[in-house]
Structure 1
């Protein structure tokens, strides 16, 4: 599968919103109740995606020139990693995370943090992230994970 990863543009906001909604409703819905999914969805409308693009480096992965995944980097924190359900398990998430990892190294970051869903905890663990703690926002459980990129001072 030929996948291209690039920085997102404002024109990608609608497609990113669609990817996030699909993943939330199909994949994350297995681990979270419907009210939590609805609450999380509110932060990923096309308008909200436009706002996030001013705060983060947002990336998209495309197959046949169609956006099928997204991930972003905000400081030392990886955020909003979503892959359309029909493309999950094909290495697209890994490709996005490789770009995030390379970007973090280029920025001189020593560590990456990711607030993981229950659904994605195993995925991040395979990439070398380790659980630090759980956080709860109402009924929503988030697993805070981190990965050391380089030892301090090196």
Structure 2
């Protein structure tokens, strides 16, 4: 598997949206109700993703020019980390997060925060993130996690 991490382009919006929606429906659905998934999906259509690409640092993971994952950095907050269900557990999320951390270090960001889904909590914990508190948007539980970065590593 030859996976490439690169900055997202406007033209990637539909593919990024498709990855996010598939991951929500197939991976996150085991931890969240259909109503919560439907509500979250409304924030990740192609036009919404295009707007995010314009205002955040958005990355994509590609395999053979197919977008298979995404992650973004919004200030010191990691957002929208998703990997296509058919290629999960192959290190793609870890590669995306390594690049996010590299960018954060280059910007002298000492602490990364991630609002983690219940589904992704173990993934972030394996990367050294610690749970800080729970946050609720209605009945949707999010775990706020943080990781200190060693700024001597660039």
Q: Same fold (TM over 0.5)?
A: yes
Cα distance in 2 between the residues matched to 1:144 and 1:54: 25
CA RMSD of aligned residues (A): 0.8
TM-score, normalization: structure 1? 0.97
The yes-or-no answer on 1:145 pairing with 2:129 is no
Q: Secondary structure at the match of 1:49?
A: helix
Residue deviations 1:100-137, cap 9 Å, x none? 00000000000000000000000000000000000000
Unaligned runs of 5+ in 1: none
Unaligned runs of 5+ in 2: none
Residue deviations 1:24-55, cap 9 Å, x none? 00000000000000000000000000111122
How many residue pairs get aligned? The number is 151
- Structure-1 residue corresponding to 2:102: 102
Q: Secondary structure at the match of 2:114?
A: strand
Following superposition, the deviation at residue 139 of structure 1 comes to 1.1
Cα distance in 1 between the residues matched to 2:79 and 2:45: 16
- Structure-2 residue corresponding to 1:126: 126
TM-score, normalization: structure 2? 0.97
